[in-house]
Each structure stands twice: as C-alpha cells, then as structure tokens.
Amino acid sequence: MRRTLVMVTAVLGLLSLSLTGAHADRKLRVVATIPDLKSLTEAVGGDLVEVDTLTRGTQNFHEAEVRPSMMLKLRRADALIENGLELDTWADVAVTGANNPGIIRGSPGRIEISRGIQLLEVPTTRVDRSMGDVHPLGNPHFSLDPGLAPIITQNIVDGLSRLAPDNRPAFEKNRQAFLQKLDGEMERWTKQMEPVRGGKVVVYHPDFIYFLTRFGLVQVGMLEDRPGIPPSPQHLVQIIRQMKAEQVKVILVEPWNDLKLAERVAAEAGGGAKALVMANSVGAVKGADNYIAAIDYNVKTLAQVLK
Ligand SMILES: [Zn+2]
C-alpha cells in the first residue's frame, strides 16, 4: 500500500514537473477572441508565442457565431485571451465545445484584459439584455484607445507569465519596446489631431468612444437606437436634424454595418457630410493589419475629414 502511494506520488510529481516545464521548450499557443488582442499579444509575446484569433476584423464581434473551427483552435490552446464586458461571451460556448480544461473560466490559461480599465458609458440604470442592448456593463470597445495599451499589455504579460514564468522578463522587454514605439506614434497622432480637436462625429455603432475621448473628439449621436438595436426611422429623422444643427461632417461606420444607409443619412444631413468605413478593429479595412496601423488609419482619416 505504502509502496503504491509512493509510486503514485512520484508519478504525480513527474506529471506536475512535466506540466510546468511543458511550455519551456516550445511556443505558447495563444488564441485571442478578437484581432486587436491578437496583435497586442504578438507585440508582447514575440517569438515565444504563436497567436491565432477566433474572429476577423470585418465581423461584428457581438454576434460572432461559434463554429467547429473555433473549437479546433481552442482545443490545442495554452491560453485564451478575451476582451470581456460581454463583447465575446460566445467564447464560453466555444471553450465548452473544445473540451480544454486549461482555458475554462478561472483557470490560469484564461486571460481577461479588461482588468484596470476605466470604463466609459456604464449604464446608470439596470440594462436588460433581453431588450437587445449589447453594452450592458459599459462600453467594451476600449482596445481602440492606444492610451489604454499599457494596461492591456500589462494584463497580457501577467497572464502569459502565469503559464511561462521563466519568460516574464522577455515578455516585459517586448512590452517596453512596443510601448516605446507606441509613445512615439502617440506624439505624432496627438499633433495630427490637434487642429480638429472638439470636432463632432456621429457613429453607427458606438465602438469609437474611447478613441474619440482620447483625441478630444465629440460623439454627438449614433445611428443605432441603442447599442445593438438597428436604427428606427424616427431616430434617423432626429439624427439628421441634429447633424444639420451641429454641422456634423462625418458618420463612422463599421465594415459589417449598413454603409448605404449611413450614406443616405449623410446625404440628407447635407453640408458635405460623409459616411466612412473605419478601422474599428485590426483587419477591418485594408492597411489596418496590425494595432498601430489600425489606429494610424483612424487618425489619418479623421484628421483629414474634419479639417
Ligand atoms: Zn459594441
């Protein structure tokens, strides 16, 4: 009996050894729910990670459909990086289907990056999701604000380091190098946006609020009745009136939203107003194939159209 126990203990010891050392000699396999988080994880993980994403930048993340291909990616993942705030709740279904205990909620391989983010548009009254509002906990699209990248990347470093503690210094070094580069870009972006500070925009879906706030632009309205609820005719009449009164020159549109409708609203509002498809995510438009490129696209586009 005692002998068996010793054997079992020894085997368990070996097992746990091989578990902690499992990631030392190969890349960590990381899956991110959305492309922004993939790009930021690549920046932090460098050649120590292999990152995939569950969605494309042209998709509406709120309504991503769980597919077998998602489960396949998750089955072999060491970590799942999620946005949280109900943007990517569907990941839970995919994880259950993947049958990978290493990334279920609460396990070390589950990394949520919203920790420490000062949220905007947190409802003051209880929002019932059955009414269709897809931002019940506050606006989840914070990754579009480059000023929040230090917090997001810190959360990624902490998460990856739980799985590969020996690599923490390397993750930190990559993060510092990335943030230094981002700082330089930030200085340039702030200068570019300076002349249009206070500029007014209308959005289709409210996914730009963190970005707009960072650069001193003002969101005066949205085409959707509420986040996730399609525009009603009465609401559009009111938005057109408001755009005329406040001389709004631009409607920001997601690649998955109805550009034609936004263009009609812009034409009705007059004054040369335009509807433009923006990089509301990495991969949303051509050229926005990494985090810095996506932000750069938005800065350039808005600095141009609002001047
Ligand atoms: Zn949203």
Distance 87 CA to ligand 1 centre (A): 7
Res. 260: pLDDT tops 90? yes
Secondary structure of 79-123 in the HEC alphabet? EEEECCCCCCCCHHHHHHHHCCHHHCCCCCCEEECCCCCCCCCCC
Q: How confident is the model at residue 23 (pLDDT cuts 50, 70, 90)?
A: low
How many angstroms separate the alpha carbon of residue 73 from the centre of ligand 1?
24
**Pick from 102, 107, 99, 113: which is nearest to 28 by CA?**
102
Would the pLDDT of 9 be above 50?
no
What pLDDT sits at residue 12?
46
pLDDT computed for residue 129 by the predictor: 65
Q: What's the CA-to-centroid distance between 17 and ligand 1, angstroms? A: 43
Label the pairing between strands 274-277 and 218-222. unpaired
Instruction: Give the model's pLDDT for residue 3.
Output: 57
Partnered with residue 63 across adjacent β-strands are: none
- pLDDT value, residue 132: 73
234 CA from centroid of ligand 1 (Å): 22
What is the strand order of the sheet 79-82 is part of? 49-53, 28-32, 79-82, 110-112
Ligand 1 mean position to 233 CA, how many Å?
21
- DSSP for 133-194 reads -S-BTB---GGG-GGGHHHHHHHHHHHHHHH-GGGHHHHHHHHHHHHHHHHHHHHHHHHHHG
CA of 145 to the centre of ligand 1 (A): 14
pLDDT band for 41, please (50, 70, 90 cuts). Answer: very high
CA of 61 from ligand 1 middle (Å) equals 8
- pLDDT 10s digits, 150-167: 999 999 999 999 999 999
Region 214-239 average pLDDT: 97
Ligand 1: distance of its center to the CA of 100 in Å?
28
Q: Residue 171 pLDDT > 90, yes or no?
A: yes
> Ligand 1: distance of its center to the CA of 226 in Å?
10
Determine the distance separating the centroid of ligand 1 and the alpha carbon of 81, expressed in angstroms. Answer: 18
- Higher pLDDT: 126 or 263? It is 263
Q: Which residue is associated with the tokens 């996506």?
A: 294
pLDDT at site 25? 73
Mean pLDDT of the chain: 93
Tens of pLDDT, residues 46-101: 999 999 999 999 999 999 999 999 999 999 999 999 999 999 999 999 999 999 99
Extract the tokens encoding 296: 């750069």
CA of 86 to the centre of ligand 1 (A): 9
- Domains of the chain in start order, with CATH, are 26-117+141-185 (3.40.50.1980), 197-305 (3.40.50.1980)
pLDDT (0 to 100) of residue 24: 58
**33 Cα–ligand 1 center, Å:** 14
85 C-alpha vs ligand 1 centroid, how far in Å? 10
